Structure 1
Amino acid sequence: MPEFHLPKCSSRNSGQRLIPKWKLAISIFFGALGIALLVLAVMYFGWLKMKKRTEPASSSKDDSSLNLSYGILLKATNGFSSSNLIGVGGLGSVYKGFLDENGTTIAAKVLNLTLHGAVKSFITECKALRNIRHRNLLKVLTVCSGTDYRGNEFKALIYEFMVNGSLEDWLHPSPSSANVDGNAHKLSLIQRINISIDVASALDYLHDHLQSPVIHCDLKPSNVLLDAEMVGHVGDFGLAKIVIDSTDDTKAKMSSAGVRGTVGYAAPEYGMESEVSREGDVYSYGILLLEMFTGVSPTNERFRENFNLHKFVKEALPEQPLEITDPFLLQEMESRMGTA
């Protein structure tokens, strides 16, 4: 507009308009490159994650992938030698074994299939252990079901080896387990309390934290194994019952009929063909506790007819608790008081 006497627009302004377009093009290029790199990174890390998930199934060092034949177990246990024998049960024997391929120490429970109920016990234990995982349960690594070199049927369960043996070994040590001074290793008060908590945690998991609760039916010291840190692990589910239908919170119909507990530990009502229940395991746990803190087995010769471990403890309480306490615990208490 001439009346404002303004200077004409410079021609350089038209050239400056090209600069934002170059900037936009460069930004679009690097933005697209960044998105492409991000997509590739996501795909790469996703592939790594999938690879990690599949590696344990094919790794020979993973216990869950163990595939053991009769021949491998025969070699690992030195021909099921008596020197490798670490336990004998009602339906089979347990051997310590060493696997050369990955250096794993195992405990192989070999079933005596000539005994009535051995095959049923094997199947029951496999079913019970199939879907349970807990730090206080004995870990089953794999099973072996086939034939031996003579063509006879062979079945074994392979467990994680517990270096400190069973609770039975510590409560009632044999003379051969004594040290050089002639003294057998015994459990301290704190160790007994911790182990009792471990067993209670295992029962709580089996009874109240599974979709199909499991009743152990054979809780006793020989079925509580101790690892290197003296942590208790409940094992031997050969007599276990899986709850398949519950009419109330305590009684249940079971997956199989009949109960074969251990004398001294089995609930009295089981002798009258009552249904197994959580209370039956709790009764066995109570007997286990009494044995742990008195040092007296419920199958001791002093218990005959109607006199048992429960009555033995009941008669001494509350006036004479020291009379029924394990003498080793009393010695431990005296030594602590002496050094205090």
Structure 2
Amino acid sequence: MDEKEISWLGVDFNRIDSGISESIPVTYSPQSAKELEAEMKRLRLELKQTMDMYSSACKQAISAKNQAEQIRQWKLEEDRKVEVVRMSQEAALAIAEKEKAIAKAAMEAAEEARRRAEQEAQRRKDAEEKARAEAEEKERALSTLAQNDTRYRRYTIEEIEMATEKFSPSNKIGEGGYGPVYKGHLDHTPVAIKILRPDAAQGMKQFNQEIEVLSCIRHPHMVLLLGACPEHGCLVYEYLDNGSLEDRLFRKNNSKPIPWNKRFEISAEIATALLFLHQNKPEPIVHRDLKPSNILVDRNYVSKISDVGLARLVPPSVANSVTQSYMTSAAGTFCYIDPEYQQSGILTTKSDIYSLGIMLLQIITGKPPMGLAHLVRKAVEKGRFEEVLDPVITDWPVEEALSYAKLALQCAQLSKKDRPILATEILPELNRLSRLELPPQNDQFSSSSDDNL
């Protein structure tokens, strides 16, 4: 160890040596000088030994310091490595979680694809079964109708083509749910001929149902079935000059408006025919599709219910709504179909009452069915009922019309238990309104009704 290495410890050995020399007295004898010199040598030797020991201690201290620094650096490096390992582990865990989520999503997607494939397979199976059932139904219907049935007149397709001038577009008077309707002449009598489209497999059920219902019943306010050509899906009805009630309410082809008294009469006629269906023996008939387009009117504005293809026979106890008939799927027309029947599939005669209520509201307002019950109810509550009456009629008997509207609103209640009874509540009130004294200007309507087309 040199003096520089020792000096950083704060010790100056030269000063120590000089200090020792200075502290020895100058006056001394020869003998004492030798002793002093010997003592000095001894002291120097001790000092050298001390310095050597000190130097060795300093070297050990420096070595220990270097080792401590190396240990610190090693520890920092180890900490860095541990941090790298920790971050790697966290990254690996994150990747593992991500892969796990991807695998879970893939499994869920595979399960969803499997479920959809099963649903699609089931839908195809159901569609095939339905198509097969419809084909069998059509075959049975044609087989049944091909037999000698004396309930209606059978026409050949040649007679139908001749009557309609080979289905000339000029003779087309309407379009039904399952095919067009033509005007024609058979046996020197004007008739309406409904043609079932070849692709309307579901329509064959209605075709058969119309024959079953209309060939067995007769009522002045039910359209008359004159005959059919079952092999080609043709139904022949009596022809009613003024078409549908819907066309007349909305004044198609600029026809004259229907006076209020005629509207009341038509309402009573519809209710009378509906009660006839509901009181059918041995089983009541529920129409299921009452709406203005299915009400036909003749040249004198006498109304008749048509289109009974959706009608269903239900158990007799259903007539009083005590027992119910469950249908696998609801049928009817949006805005007219009973919401309770649509939701539950449970059919009663009260289902027709809802449709009747919406139709009665249309008869006095001349408005579309969408939201009509709500509109009229709010007008009645706010005392503004006159604003919703059909404005083309200027002489409404407002109080009687209000009574009529309240009855219609009761019919259109969402719950069937809140709807009035047709025989004892609805029909008596409609009959009363239909017998109101007519204003003088309405007397001309019947004689001029031929011009309303």
The reply to whether TM is greater than 0.5 is: yes
- Match for residue 224 of structure 2? 139
Whole-angstrom CA distance in 1 between matches of 2:440 and 2:164: 47
- Do the aligned partners of 1:266 and 1:283 also contact (CA within 8 Å) in 2? yes
Question: Structure 1, residues 3-26: CA drift from partner, whole Å, max 9, x if none?
Answer: xxxxxxxxxxxxxxxxxxxxxxxx
State the identity as a percent.
34
Distance (Å, rounded) in 1 between the aligned partners of 2:372 and 2:328: 28
CA gap 1:121/1:64 in 2 versus in 1, 3 angstroms: closer
Equivalent residue number for residue 171 of structure 2: 84
Following TM superposition, by how much is the alpha carbon of 1:252 offset from its aligned partner in structure 2, in angstroms?
A: 3.4
Deviation at 1:65, TM superposition (A): 6.5
Give 1:90's aligned amino acid. G
User: What is residue 221 of structure 1 aligned with on the other side?
Assistant: 292
Superposed CA offset, 1:141-178 (max 9, x none): 111111xxxxxxx111110110111101111123xx12
Seen in structure 2, the aligned counterparts of structure 1 residues 69 and 243 have a Cα distance that, compared at 3 Å, is same
Contact 2:209 2:310 in 1 (8 A): yes
Please say if 1:286 is aligned against 2:357: yes
Checking the alignment, whether the CA contact within 8 Å between 2:277 and 2:286 is kept in structure 1 is yes
Using the TM superposition, name which of 130-139 and 239-248 deviates more: 239-248
Say if 2:173 and 2:183, in contact at 8 Å, map to a contact too. yes
User: Is the 2:329–2:345 contact (alpha carbons within 8 Å) kept by the matching residues of 1?
Assistant: no
After superposition, residues 257-272 of structure 1 pair within 5 angstroms as 257-272=328-343
Alignment of 1:127 with 2:247, yes or no, is: no
Residue aligning to 1:243: 314
Measured in 2, the distance between the counterparts of 1:71 and 1:293 equals 44
Per the TM alignment, residue 66 of structure 1 is displaced from its structure 2 partner at its CA by 3.6
How far 1:207 moved relative to its partner? 0.5
Provide the residue aligned with 2:198 in structure 1.
113
State yes or no: 1:173 paired with 2:260. no
The reply on whether 1:201 has 2:272 as its aligned counterpart is yes
1:207-235 per-position Cα deviation (integer Å, ceiling 9, x unaligned): 12432110000000011011122111000
Spell out, residue by residue over 1:10-47, the C-alpha distance to the aligned partner (whole angstroms, 9 max, x if none): xxxxxxxxxxxxxxxxxxxxxxxxxxxxxxxxxxxxxx
Q: Normalised by the size of structure 1, how large is the TM-score?
A: 0.69
Name which of 197, 222, 241 aligns with 1:163. Answer: 241
1:252 to 324, 334, 339: 324
Contact 1:64 1:141 in 2 (8 A): no
Query: What is the DSSP-based 3-state SS (H/G/I as helix, E as strand, rest coil) of the residue aligned with 1:210?
Result: coil
- d(CA) in 1 for partners of 2:297 and 2:268? 13
Alpha-carbon distance in structure 1 between the residues aligned to 2:151 and 2:297: 21
CA distance in 2, matches of 1:79, 1:252: 46
In structure 2, relative to structure 1, the CA distance for the partners of 1:309 and 1:103 (3 Å cut) is: same
Aligned partner of 2:282 in structure 1 is 211
The equivalent of 1:320 in structure 2 is 384
Task: Give the 3-state SS of the residue equivalent to 2:181 in structure 1.
Answer: strand
**Which residue type is aligned with residue 167 of structure 1?**
L
Aligned partner (choices 362, 368, 373) of residue 310 of structure 1: 373
Largest Rg, 1 or 2: 2
1:229-251 deviations in Å (ceiling 9; x for gaps):
21110000111111146467214
> Are the counterparts in 2 of residues 138 and 235 from structure 1 also a CA contact under 8 Å?
yes
* Equivalent residue, structure 1, for 2:393: 329
One-letter amino acid of the counterpart of residue 314, structure 1: R
Name the one with the larger strand percent.
1
Separation of aligned partners in 1, 2:198 and 2:205? 10
Give the direction of change, closer, same or farther, for the CA distance of 1:337–1:86 in structure 2 (3 Å limit): closer
Say which SS state the counterpart of residue 154 (structure 2) adopts: coil
Would you say the 8 A contact 2:278–2:319 is kept in 1? no
Structure-2 separation of matches of 1:110 and 1:273: 33
Asked whether the 8 Å contact 1:138–1:160 carries over to 2, the reply is yes
Distance 1:158 1:133 in 2: 15
- Check 1:337–1:212 CA distance in 2 against 1; reply closer, same or farther (3 A cut): closer
Distance in 1, matches of 2:216 and 2:440, equals: 47
Contact 2:319 2:349 in 1 (8 A): no
Q: Cα–Cα, structure 1 residues 104 and 119, in superposed 2: closer, same or farther, change >3 Å? A: same
Q: CA distance change for structure 1 residues 130 and 244 in 2, over 3 Å: closer, same or farther? A: farther
> CA separation in 2, counterparts of 1:313 and 1:105?
40
Amino acid at match of 1:199: I
Quickly say closer, same or farther: Cα 1:275–1:332, change in 2 above 3 A: closer
Structure 1 spans left out of the alignment, 5+ residues: 1-62, 147-153, 179-183, 300-307
Partner Cα distance (2:318, 2:386) in 1: 43
Look up the equivalent residue of 2:394 and give its one-letter code. L
User: Which whole-Å CA distance do the structure 1 matches of 2:182 and 2:391 have between them?
Assistant: 33
Over aligned residues, Cα RMSD in angstroms? 2.5
In 2, Cα distance between equivalents of 1:65 and 1:262: 29
> What SS does the aligned partner of 1:122 have?
helix
- The aligned amino acid for 1:158 is V
Q: 2:221 is matched by which residue type in structure 1?
A: N
CA separation of 1:245 and 1:253: change in aligned 2, threshold 3 A: farther
